[in-house]
A and B are shown apart, each in its own frame.
Chain A
Amino acid sequence: MERHFELELEKLKKRVLKMGNLVAMQIHLTMVALVTCDVEAAAEIIETDNAVDELDVKIDKLCQRIFALTQPVATDLRLIMASLKINNDLERMGDHAVDIAKKIEGLADYKDVLVELQIGELAELTDTLVKDVMSIMNTRNLSFIRDIYSDAAVIRKKVQIISEKIIELMTQKSDVLAVATSLMIILTQIERIAGYSFNIAESIYFVVEGKMVKHEKGFWDQSETTP
């Protein structure tokens, strides 16, 4: 009975990690395709969405089964609650990657605009952030969690700066209106990916430390405790 329960939890951990790796790969390929305006790669990314959706449902069902059959408590309860939330966040991140991929075709003629706006740098930051979050998911080593908070903040700031540049560009060149609108949407998607990434880091913190700190304003800025 006990071993069976352990096996179910192990299965859950593996599935969530698999989901994480799948989405991290989706985002990596999306960021590369965004910078290179690789339309073929973008099409492949869109294809991977089904696998993410399937795994999303599998994880939800596994959590439902564990809740119904084992009434988990304490650390097990936190793990399952966090798995559900992380799964949801990952699925949303995957959707945003696909939404970005769908817009890449329209950017192909504007590589110079992408360079001018430093989209490449933002893409690299986003890719690194997601990889770092996956690393925390894998190791549960919380010592980098504040770095992730800072990196997500840097991305938010960069998105804001680029958005302002785009608005400026729109006022100067009327022929970039369509691509500028697409880029504004892509920036929003990237900002959300960064937000979901930090949500995942907070969920891991909840599993390990047993403290729910979401929406606690200033917690990661001010907390003296080393997570």
Chain B
Amino acid sequence: MKEIKIKTKDLTLYYGSKMALNSISVEIPQNQVTALIGPSGCGKSTFLRTLNRMNDLIPNVRITGEVLVDNFNIYDKNVDSVNLRKKVGMVFQKSNPFAKSIFENVAYGPRINGVNDKKKLTEIVETSLQRAAIWDEVKDRMHDSALGLSGGQQQRLCIARTMAVDPEIILMDEPASALDPISTSKIEELIFNLKENYTIIIVTHNMQQAARVSDHTAFFYMGELVEFGKTKKIFTVPVKKQTEDYITGRFG
């Protein structure tokens, strides 16, 4: 049994008067991939963003309940959200490299965190690119613009950039939805391999992707967590009818 990395207790979130998450209590295991699935507007991305307090940036958001990372409530007054986001990194649907060189994209995070030694920075950049399975493709053009990379390469670069600040948890919001099948397959393989060192939570609309990459799956519907369990069980014998209807495409 894996240790629990993230635990939410009665997590409820409102956008103004609209309840977007209704009393979510879940335990996310360490060094595993957890997929969040559900129809658009079900709350899965909102839930993902509560895990590194990205929702703090949205006006009129009200959150109750707790999100414990390593048994520490990240919504505690004393928590510095910048430090939190170093520990809980995020990769977005659309790759968003800076208009800088490949090297600078990855070096940016460590540098603003005080790493200025060139040798150390080079080491971090190389390790991050290797972990993101893109090193071989970019090692000879480290000082070229990141914007010249393909969509799939840009996304892996963004994953490398996320890893460069040494997070423990990586949140991924539909990281492969804009990529072709080959790039998608590389990202999926990467996700699978990364779990050795990181706890990964991924939002995806692609059922087969959730089934392929994740160890656990959480099905959200209308702001509620309908079912959470091992992916192999959810995709073969789900307990709840709503889950069954959703994953078999009979929803609504």
Q: Which A residues are closer than 8 A to B by beta carbons? A: 1-2, 5, 71-78, 210-211
- Indicate whether B78 reaches chain A with its CB closer than 8 angstroms: no
Give Cα distance in the complex from A78 to B244, angstroms.
12
> A74 contacts B235, CB within 8 Å?
yes
> Given A71-B208, A74-B235, 16 more contacts at CB 8 Å?
A1-B249, A2-B249, A2-B250, A5-B249, A71-B207, A72-B248, A73-B235, A73-B236, A73-B247, A73-B248, A74-B236, A74-B244, A74-B247, A75-B248, A76-B248, A77-B235
CB neighbours of A2 from chain B (8 A): 249-250
Q: List 22 A-B contacts (CB under 8 A).
A: A1-B249, A2-B249, A2-B250, A5-B249, A71-B207, A71-B208, A72-B248, A73-B207, A73-B235, A73-B247, A73-B248, A74-B235, A74-B238, A74-B244, A74-B247, A74-B248, A77-B235, A77-B236, A78-B236, A78-B237, A210-B236, A210-B237
In this complex, what residue of A is CB-closest to B239? A210
Say how far B147's CB is from chain A's closest CB, in angstroms. Answer: 35
Say how far B249's CB is from chain A's closest CB, in angstroms. Answer: 5
In this complex, what residue of A is CB-closest to B237? A210
- Indicate whether B4 reaches chain A with its CB closer than 8 angstroms: no
CB neighbours of A75 from chain B (8 A): 244, 248
B interface residues, how many (CB within 8 angstroms): 12
Say how far B233's CB is from chain A's closest CB, in angstroms. Answer: 10
> B237 contacts A74, CB within 8 Å?
yes
Give Cα distance in the complex from A77 to B238, angstroms.
12
- Indicate whether B211 reaches chain A with its CB closer than 8 angstroms: yes
Q: Which B residues are closer than 8 A to A by beta carbons? A: 207-208, 211, 235-238, 244, 247-250
In this complex, what residue of A is CB-closest to B207? A73
CB neighbours of B236 from chain A (8 A): 73-74, 77-78, 210
CB neighbours of A72 from chain B (8 A): 248
Most buried by A among B207, B247, B248, B249: B248
In this complex, what residue of B is CB-closest to A5? B249
CB neighbours of B247 from chain A (8 A): 73-74
Give Cα distance in the complex from A39 to B95, angstroms.
75
Say how far B218's CB is from chain A's closest CB, in angstroms. Answer: 16
Give Cα distance in the complex from A74 to B236, angstroms.
4
> B237 contacts A73, CB within 8 Å?
no
Give Cα distance in the complex from A158 to B100, angstroms.
83
CB neighbours of A211 from chain B (8 A): 237
Give Cα distance in the complex from A207 to B237, angstroms.
10
Say how far B22's CB is from chain A's closest CB, in angstroms. Answer: 25
Give Cα distance in the complex from A2 to B249, angstroms.
7
Most buried by B among A72, A73, A77, A211: A73
Say how far B49's CB is from chain A's closest CB, in angstroms. Answer: 27
CB neighbours of B244 from chain A (8 A): 74-75
CB neighbours of A74 from chain B (8 A): 235-238, 244, 247-248
Give Cα distance in the complex from A5 to B235, angstroms.
18
Say how far B234's CB is from chain A's closest CB, in angstroms. Answer: 8
In this complex, what residue of B is CB-closest to A78? B236
Shortest Cβ-Cβ A-B pairs, 6 listed:
A210-B237, A73-B235, A73-B247, A74-B244, A71-B208, A76-B248
CB neighbours of A1 from chain B (8 A): 249
CB neighbours of A210 from chain B (8 A): 236-237
CB neighbours of B237 from chain A (8 A): 74, 78, 210-211
Give Cα distance in the complex from A72 to B248, angstroms.
7
Give Cα distance in the complex from A71 to B250, angstroms.
14
Give Cα distance in the complex from A1 to B207, angstroms.
15
Say how far B224's CB is from chain A's closest CB, in angstroms. Answer: 20
Say how far A207's CB is from chain B's closest CB, in angstroms. Answer: 11
Say how far B173's CB is from chain A's closest CB, in angstroms. Answer: 23
Say how far A85's CB is from chain B's closest CB, in angstroms. Answer: 15
